Amino acid sequence: MAAIWKRSIGLDALNALGENSLVAHVGIVFTVIGDDYLEATMPVDARTHQPFGLLHGGASVVLAESMGSIAGYMCVDEGSSVVGVEVNASHHRAVSSGEVRGICRPLHLGSRSQVWQIEIRNKRDQLCCSARLSVAVLG
């Protein structure tokens, strides 16, 4: 598949976008920009745990929405932006430590809306959460 990105941006610049925000607070780091996908990691630690020591479902949603929003931004022309409209997530497997890896791919790239599929996997590459983000394209 041909590259889907309309903006040329490297990993350093991509990670700088998250500074001073929830993205940096929970430790999300973008690690791969593929031709048609993004990857990022997030630690499973005190910042992302729920009270019983497992990865908080809301933290998984933060990773998914952050990835889909950045991917959406990279897929629109200069002068346009995206905003989240709906996010849903199914949690399949608990994680108590280490880090998780998100893989974000498009399901639909339209002129007015986009839909992104985000898989969150543990260090053994087992699916822990599957999420979908819909965004509206503005501008």
Q: SS3 sequence, the chain?
A: CCCCCCCCCCHHHHHHHCCCCHHHHCCCEEEEECCCCEEEEEECCCCCECCCCCECHHHHHHHHHHHHHHHHHHCCCCCCEEEEEEEEEEECCCCCCCEEEEEEEEEEECCCEEEEEEEEECCCCCEEEEEEEEEEEEC
- Candidates 39, 65, 99, 119; catalytic one: 65
Q: Which residues 6+ apart lie within 8 Å of 34 measured at CB?
A: none
- Known catalytic membership, residue 19: no
The residues annotated as belonging to the active site are 65
